[in-house]
Amino acid sequence: MNFCSLVIGFSLFAFSAFAGPLDVFVQDEQLFNVQTLRCQFTASSIVSWENGDPEVVVIEGGEFELLFDSIGERKARLIGNVGSDDVLVARTAMGLNFIERTSGGSWNTTTVFKHRENEVDGDFAAVTSRHSIAPFWPTAYQHYGKCKVLEYN
């Protein structure tokens, strides 16, 4: 057996050993053609600087949903748990990013990654972040979940 055959054989073995976790998500450029997304966030964390240093706490039962509609090149309509508003859309190589400035002056961002589950009509991975001062120190919430395409352009 020559060296080249050995390298190819080992490479195929190594790839097959790691193929399971690597094929859970696939990249899908169709994300950039969506009109409506429903995002379900099922895992959450909060970071607070209440005692001077950042402290991370996992939140139990912090599930919620966001709906992004009329998704255009630069704007979309966000329908959430406390009403609806127009948000900015930033399209990047990573995916779609929705940016909201709340009436209270805080910023919320949601990133829908262009990586979806490796199945027909699989959901896209997503994270949303909310940054505020509550009540006297900085606080950041992050929620993790998936978005389902409800409608394409």
Give the residue extent of every domain in the chain. 25-152
Note the pLDDT tens digit of each residue in 124-148.
999 999 988 877 888 899 999 999 9
Mean pLDDT, the chain, integer:
86
Please give the helix or strand (H or E) that residue 113 lies within, else none: strand 107-117
With contact defined as beta carbons under 8 Å apart, do 97 and 107 qualify?
A: no
Give the HSE-up count for residue 24: Cα atoms under 13 Å, Cβ half-sphere: 5
Q: Whole-model pTM? A: 0.83
Confidence category of residue 21, pLDDT binned at 50, 70, 90: low
Q: What is the mean pLDDT of residues 13-23?
A: 47
- Quick count: other Cβ atoms within 10 Å of Cβ 63? 13
The CATH code of domain 25-152 reads 2.40.160
- Give tens-digit pLDDT for 70-81: 999 999 999 988
